[in-house]
Structures are given as C-alpha cells and as structure tokens.
A and B are shown apart, each in its own frame.
Chain A
Amino acid sequence: GAGVSQSPSNKVTEKGKDVELRCDPISGHTALYWYRQSLGQGLEFLIYFQGNSAPDKSGLPSDRFSAERTGGSVSTLTIQRTQQEDSAVYLCASSLTAGNTDTQYFGPGTRLTVL
C-alpha cells in the first residue's frame, strides 16, 4: 500500500513569505506527527494530531508555525513570515493509533530553503 507522502519535495522561498507544507498519511492511520530535521538541532518534534485535534503542540518553535488536519487525513503545516532559521527538512509521520508501541512511518520530507 501507499506510504506517507509529502509535497512539495523541495521548496525555496524568500524571507518573509508564507509557506504551506502538505502531508498525506497512510490510509486509516489516526495519529499524525510533524518533525523537523536541521543541521544544528537534529530531529525535533513539532506537533501531534489524534484525528483532527492536536493534543500536543509543544514543539512548535513560534507562533509563526501552525498546523491543521482535516477529515482525519491530510495535514498542512503553515509557516508564516519565514526566517532563514526555518530552513530544514520537515518530516511527517503517521501511525495506526497513538499507542506507545505503534510504529511511526515517515514520509520522504519537504526540504525548505529560506533565502
């Protein structure tokens, strides 16, 4: 079956512009996660969705970052007024449930470059 897909695969933007990153989880997976992979910070958790609600937004670095999930499926991560330090690979993952033992399956990521 299809895995987690993300789009675009690459995004180059100018400082100050807004960007939207999309994630399509594996069909039937109720839990969805966003992470960020950057050179200086490694892999960081951003936000977690259970269904359409986000019980844990603790990793969002500032109020310029927001995310939503609709229909218990597709999720969009929005970064407003991008800054150069936002440059990173943004990874989405999904799991069947949010259970501790469930495997999170990762998408290929979106590489964001802010000029």
Chain B
Amino acid sequence: GNSVTQMEGPVTLSEEAFLTINCTYTATGYPSLFWYVQYPGEGLQLLLKATKADDKGSNKGFEATYRKETTSFHLEKGSVQVSDSAVYFCALRTNEGFQKLVFGTGTRLLVSP
C-alpha cells in the first residue's frame, strides 16, 4: 500500500539554523508529493508540492526535491525563524483512482530565539 514515513519530532533548533526534515514514501504508480504545515491554532496549509521526479517545490524559503531513486522528499530551509515553529506533514497522492492524501505522522519544529 501507499505510505509516508517522516522523522520523529520534536526538532528543536535555534534561529538561523539549517533545517532538514526527512520524508520517504512507498507508493505504486507515480505519486505527487506535498508538504503541509500546521501553525499553532491554525488549519493545514499547503507549503509546497512536486508532481514528478526531480521537480523541486519551494515556498517561503523552504525547498524539497522529488527523488524517485531514493523515494524521498526531504524538506529543507537554510535559516529558520521563530515563526517557522509548527507541525510539518509530508503527504503523497497517487494517480491510480485513489484521490486521498496519505499523510506522514507529522514533525513538530520548535525554533528558539
């Protein structure tokens, strides 16, 4: 079946540190890959997406590259801010008639000043 595995949190960083949140997936077919973010007290928001191999999604300084050979979609940011503190969810969606998003368990990021 389809599944997403992401690193356990919380990830605790100081402001301006480099961020990596690992995400790997298992899927049949050719999935699209997504990162969603949930800020405290808010709903899920799409952060970035990539729809085919070697695509790079980027937004708000965050990047992730769709690596088919390693079935990965790791989230990176060069310099985190306190305002980036949130829960980050990696997700996939396949084109085989199943329209649902399959989510990872989420990774909480805590950034201190």
Binding site for B on A (CB under 8 A): 31, 33, 35, 42-43, 45, 48, 50, 55-56, 59, 91, 93, 98, 100-101, 103-109
Question: Count the A-B residue pairs with Cβ separation under 8 angstroms: how many?
Answer: 55
B93 to chain A, nearest CB (A): 6
Q: Is the CB of A106 within 8 A of B32?
A: no
Q: Which residue of B lies closest to A43 (CB)?
A: B103
Chain A interface, >50% SS class: strand
Chain B interface, >50% SS class:
loop
Number of interface residues of B (CB under 8 A): 25
C-alpha gap A8/B89 in the complex (Å): 25
Q: Mark B45-77, 1 if CB is under 8 A from A, else 0.
A: 110010100000000000000000000000000
A104 in contact with B101 (CB, 8 Å): yes
Besides the known contacts A98-B99, A103-B46, A104-B101, 20 further A-B residue pairs in the complex with CB atoms under 8 A apart: A31-B99, A33-B100, A33-B101, A43-B101, A43-B103, A45-B102, A48-B100, A55-B97, A55-B99, A100-B31, A100-B32, A101-B32, A101-B49, A101-B51, A103-B49, A105-B46, A106-B36, A106-B43, A106-B45, A109-B43
Q: Which residues of B contact A (CB under 8 A)?
A: 31-32, 34, 36, 42-46, 49, 51, 89, 93-95, 97-106
